[in-house]
Amino acid sequence: MRRRRNPDREKRASGYKVGANRRSRPKRLERKPRLSIVNAGGKVQSNKLNKYHSIMRINRSLLAMSFITILLLPCCTQKDKTSSMEMLNKSVVIKWLKEINKDNFELLFDELWTPDCKQYFNSSKVPLEYDDFKKMIFNMYEEYPVISHEIHDIIAKDDMVIARFSARVTHDRLMFGAPASGKELYWSAIAIFQLEDGKIKNRWEMTDLLGMYQQLGMELKLPEEE
């Protein structure tokens, strides 16, 4: 025997209200769409798998940033080390030019110059070594006890320091055959210093000797033809 169909029961099961307008439809709960990732095979991956892949992408980004930091760190450290060395070399040259005088030049010379240092001047083809240069400074201060230096420019690069400076003395005695005039003599120079372990090893200096000679009243003349 067949069971008789009950339309009201079917309507209640489907969400309709009995006696309501037939055209009205049941309200269904809207579900939020799931975020999904389609893999290379065209299959949709689950949310848990999506979350796993997101974490993996973040970890890979962090790993890449850490790797780049490790690569750049030695370069930054080397740059800081070079900058510190250049500042030290510059301070050595400044100390030599600004603090040297008749009373302390021997101590300052031993402190700031290497034993195998060499001095190259534009007035001589042969460089002066440690003892010869020290003797030259001694004779210079014997003749002129007060010599003042002024630094105009100074640049440091790696183990080299370039300085443009000037010196002043009072012409109160015989100098290069010129009698004392009481005037202040001035000359300029450019020097390149090479340093090693915080001490000056080599120096190349170009001094304006012609300008100093002119201040003494000397003239530059060509040799007379025979």
Give me the number of domains the chain comprises. 1
Q: Are strands 184-196 and 199-207 parallel, antiparallel or unpaired?
A: antiparallel
Please write down the HEC assignment for all residues of the chain.
CCCCCCHHHHHHHHCCCCCCCCCCCCCCCCCCCCCCCECCCCCECCHHHHHHHHHHHHHHHHHHHHHHHHHHHHHHHHHHHHHHHHHHHHHHHHHHHHHCCCCCHHHHHHHHEEEEEEEEECCCCCCEEHHHHHHHHHHHHHHCCCCEEEEEEEEEECCEEEEEEEEEEECCCCECCECCCCCEEEEEEEEEEEEECCEEEEEEEEECHHHHHHHCCCCCCCCCCC
What does the pLDDT read at residue 95?
93
Whether 155 is in a domain gets the answer yes
Q: What are phi and psi of 37, to 5 degrees?
A: -120, 130
What does the pLDDT read at residue 53?
58
pLDDT for 173-207, tens place per residue? 777 777 778 788 888 999 999 999 999 999 999 98
What does the pLDDT read at residue 161?
96
Reported residue count of the chain is 226
pLDDT for 32-79, tens place per residue? 555 455 555 555 455 555 555 566 666 666 666 766 666 655 655 555
Beta carbons within 8 Å of 221's beta carbon, 6+ residues apart: none
Enter the tokens of residue 108.
């300052």
Whether 1 is in a domain gets the answer no
What does the pLDDT read at residue 184?
86
Whether 156 is in a domain gets the answer yes
Beta pairing partners, 192? 162, 204
Cβ atoms of 67 and 59 within 8 Å: the answer is: no
Whether 145 is in a domain gets the answer yes
Cβ atoms of 153 and 164 within 8 Å: the answer is: yes
Whether 170 is in a domain gets the answer yes
pLDDT for 10-24, tens place per residue? 555 555 554 545 555
What does the pLDDT read at residue 94?
94
Whether 126 is in a domain gets the answer yes
Domain with 141 in it: 84-215
pLDDT for 108-146, tens place per residue? 888 999 999 999 988 788 899 999 988 888 888 887 778
Whether 154 is in a domain gets the answer yes
Whether 48 is in a domain gets the answer no
Say how many C-beta atoms besides its own lie within 10 A of residue 193's C-beta: 25
- Domain holding 132: CATH number? 3.10.450.50
